Amino acid sequence: MVHVRVENLGLQYPLQKQKAGPIRVLQNSSASRHDRARSRVTALDGISFSLAAGDRLALIGANGAGKTTLLKVLYGIFEPTTGRVETRGRLDALFNINLGFRREATGRRNIELRGLINGWSKAEINERMDEIIAFSELGDFVDMPFKFYSQGMAARLAFATATSFKPEILLMDEWIGAGDLNFQKKAKERMTMMVEAAGIIVLASHNPAILRTTCSHGLVMERGKALYFGALEDALAHYEEHSRS
């Protein structure tokens, strides 16, 4: 059965010794060289929750609360420092849907490459190819290099490719959409279909309206810690109350 179990999850990582940039600003300037080299950031701390088939979890919190980090731990990009994450089911993520698109390659080739990167087999790519091309409304442009695409065409291709799979567990960092008004409507329908078909969803978003239409549960986060986990409305109320205080 599809499930996600997170127990006492913690993630710490070393702060780099940067010569410039925001991290240096965060560092205590009086810290010794030795301390700086060893300074660590606690990105997630003691997070626990459990999701079963049919659960749709909203990650709620201000920027920097750890929502994206938690999604990346669930996906497997970050390895937890403490605690454990157990997922059962085919896991897919919609993080950076433009990743890996090559300017010089045709749309068709880009679909193939993106499919390979996603771990699709040749047969799966071929099976989805026509549907992706039709959905992205590229027509003959699909055999032209990507660099000749308008922004809208590029966005439609990325969206159509990224959403052509049927994950059992779907991780999303913000709701995605693409294109002009017409396409946005299509994109919304497709996202809704995908979300309904998935067993479990974890969605990080700042938009309460989207969370209300999509999610059943909420996890309120602040500075890497879980403040509240429960029904979505209660979680949103908790977050609002907490933000006011």
Return residues touching another protein (CB under 8 A): 13-14, 16, 75-79, 95-96, 99-100, 102-105, 109, 112-113, 116-117, 119, 122
Instruction: In angstroms, give the least distance from the CB of 112 to another protein.
Output: 7
Which residue, 62 or 116, is less far from another protein as judged by CB? 116
Instruction: In angstroms, give the least distance from the CB of 170 to another protein.
Output: 15
Instruction: In angstroms, give the least distance from the CB of 218 to another protein.
Output: 26
Which residue, 91 or 237, is less far from another protein as judged by CB? 91
Instruction: In angstroms, give the least distance from the CB of 191 to another protein.
Output: 20
Give one DSSP letter per residue of 29-59, joined into a string: TTS-HHHHHH-EEEEEEEEEEEEETT-EEEE
Which residue, 78 or 237, is less far from another protein as judged by CB? 78
Which residue, 55 or 112, is less far from another protein as judged by CB? 112
Give one DSSP letter per residue of 184-234, joined into a string: HHHHHHHHHHHHHHSSEEEEE-S-HHHHHHH-SEEEEEETTEEEEEEEHHH
Which residue, 23 or 31, is less far from another protein as judged by CB? 23
Residues 132, 232: Cα–Cα separation, whole Å: 33
Amino acid in position 127: E
Instruction: In angstroms, give the least distance from the CB of 128 to another protein.
Output: 16
What is the CA angle 98-219-46, rounded to 5?
100
Residues 219, 198: Cα–Cα separation, whole Å: 19
